[in-house]
Amino acid sequence: MKQTIQVLLCWAVTFLCLPLGNAQTLTRISVSKDTLPTGAKTYVANVKVAGFKKIIGASFAVAWDSAVIEFDSIGNFGLPLSKDDHFGYLNTKNGVLRFLWQESFSGLTLKDNTTLFSIYYKIIGKPGSKSPISFVNIATSPTLEKEIIDTTFATVNTEYQDGLVLIKSLTSPSVFANDPNKFRINKAYPNPFNTQLTMEFSLSEAGPVGIEVVDVLGRVVHTEQRSFLAGKQELLLPKSVFPSPGNYYVRMYQGTSFTLQPVILLQ
């Protein structure tokens, strides 16, 4: 009996001496707002975190309009996650994915803007349609609450930033060229892609060509310049020039002529 009490006392002292964690830090869980070109077949929603410090547990559900986007798969894990153990797929046909993760008492910390996991969708909606991508509670059995827990076993103050995916109307071209007789992209494949993207294009004049990779927020994430001969040419872009899975535009220009191609990196 004395030994049992001593063990309990030691446990209590250890618990009380645990660090206070990040009780005053705001944790953010977010999905971006994206616009897809007409004809896009797939979409990648990256669930990202910020202020994710000494976290031992997380739970929430992600909901979307199942008439616009259809669940395909998950991946690109920022934590040691299992597709079978940490996700619930029962209602994905109705637009709901469950997420529940627990870690040891030591807790895990992730850098800001880390992708917690990515959800891969098929586009089934018509041009002009849109779907929110929301973080929700589930009130029906089995219930699931939006909750982030740190090493103090307390619920962390968390901001959930919902996303949105909009499919452009038919009036918005999927590929744009301001002077197609001088410079135009003929084909980009495979699109979506996993490891490497091939761009076939035509130039009326030989010379240097500027190349930019632009994200959906308009930020240039990669830039380079190469020289090409006139005529039909080919450009290979490896996965490494794209920061993370998602939707991008490849902009190529020569002088005042430019062309813009939407592309999607899967994983």
Contact 131, 64 (CB under 8 A): yes
Contact 54, 150 (CB under 8 A): yes
Q: Same topology for domains 20-167 and 176-265, yes or no? A: yes
Tell me if the bond preceding 19 is cis, omega within 30° of 0.
Answer: no
Does 6 have pLDDT greater than 70?
Answer: no
The pLDDT score that the predictor gives to residue 172 is 40
CA dist 242 and 150 (Å) reads 32
Q: pLDDT grade, residue 67 (50/70/90)?
A: very high
State pLDDT tens for residues 76-118. Answer: 999 999 999 999 999 999 999 999 999 877 899 999 999 999 9
CA dist 68 and 177 (Å) reads 28
Maximum separation of any 2 CA atoms in the chain, in Å? 90
Contact 255, 208 (CB under 8 A): no
Domain boundaries in the chain?
20-167, 176-265
Contact 246, 264 (CB under 8 A): yes
Mean predicted confidence (pLDDT) in 112-128: 93
CATH dotted code for 20-167? 2.60.40.680
Does 20 have pLDDT greater than 50?
Answer: no
What is the pLDDT of the chain when averaged over all its residues?
86
- At the second CATH level, the architecture of 176-265 is Sandwich (2.60)
SS3 content of the chain, % helix, strand, coil (to 5): 10, 50, 40
Q: pLDDT grade, residue 64 (50/70/90)?
A: very high
Contact 245, 78 (CB under 8 A): no
The pLDDT score that the predictor gives to residue 174 is 57
Does 42 have pLDDT greater than 60?
Answer: yes
Mean predicted confidence (pLDDT) in 185-199: 91
Mean predicted confidence (pLDDT) in 119-148: 92
Mean predicted confidence (pLDDT) in 239-253: 92
Mean predicted confidence (pLDDT) in 42-63: 96
Q: Which residues contact 74 (CB under 8 A, 6 or more apart)?
A: 83, 87, 97, 117, 118, 119, 120
